[in-house]
Every structure is written in C-alpha cells, then in structure tokens.
Amino acid sequence: MSHGNPDKMILLVEDNPRDAELTLRALRKSNLMNPIVLARDGAEALDFLFCQGAHADRPSHELPQLVLLDLKLPKVDGLEVLRAVRENERTRFLPVVILISSSEDQDLVESYRLGASSYVQKPVDFVAFQDAVRQLGLYWLVLNQAPPVTNRLS
C-alpha cells in the first residue's frame, strides 16, 4: 500500500551521500510516494525554501510539507537553516524534523529552542532506520494536520 500525497513534497537536507541514499531508500521502501527534493548543504536548502539563487524561478507558493534536516552541514549549518525557517513568516509553521547521527544534548536542546518539530537520532541499523523514516512519513505526511496554506503564505 502506498502512502503520502504527490502534492506533499519532502525537502531532505543531507550532505553525506551515504546517509542521503539510505534516507531516500528508506522512504521508497516505506511506500511514501511524495516527491523528494535533496539539498546537499544549508545554503542550497535556504535557496530552495526562499526561492533564491538557483531556485529563483521556483514558484514561492510550493513549500515542502516536511523538511528532514541534518545539523552538521557545509556552508550554512542546520541550526542556521532552522533559525531562518522559523524567522520567516512564510515558512514559520513548516514541520522541520532534525534527523542526525549525533546524540549531543547541546544539539537536542538548541534544536528545540529554535523551534524544531521533532528530533530523531538516526539508528545505525538500516531496518531500524527504515522503520523510523516510515513512522516519520506516516505521521508528518498522512496523520498530521498542517496549518492552512493561507496562514503559511501571509
């Protein structure tokens, strides 16, 4: 059975090619049929979200339904990406799930202080990781009731 909605895009922000491929594979194996955009650093994620740089021609009303965000990123780190998302009226309510290998309390506390929707430590085992991604997708893309688009665009 497939889940998700093709209109509900996921933005995956991950610089590690292996972790990006594992996440994409876990999403596919979980039958989440949502389109996935991959940003390989924080600057690319911000360009995508705010329709600037290489993404300047992207329709600004097409926000992802979910952002899966690594913290340890080149150019602009994940905490700065999260800060920018929460400070912008258009993206303030966008669900941002921190998906990270680190178990540092400082990262956890700072992520929630800046407004992370959730913080998930990546399991080392692929089956456990796949299950975690499946549960994230089902919750944020199927079960969660997002704010109306008009509130996110004003």
State what percent of residues in the chain have pLDDT above 90. 49
Q: 133 Cβ partners below 8 Å, 6+ apart?
A: 23, 26, 27, 30
Listed by start position, the domains of the chain span: 10-142
Question: Helices 78-87 and 105-113 meet at what angle, rounded to 10?
Answer: 10
pTM of the predicted structure, to 2 decimals: 0.85
Where do the H-state alpha helices sit in the chain? 17-29, 42-49, 78-87, 105-113, 126-137, 149-153
10-142: CATH number:
3.40.50.2300
How does pLDDT run across 56-111, given as a tens digit for each residue? 999 888 899 899 999 999 999 999 999 999 999 999 999 999 988 777 789 889 99
**Joined tokens for residue 37:** 């955009």
> In the prediction, which pLDDT does 123 show?
67
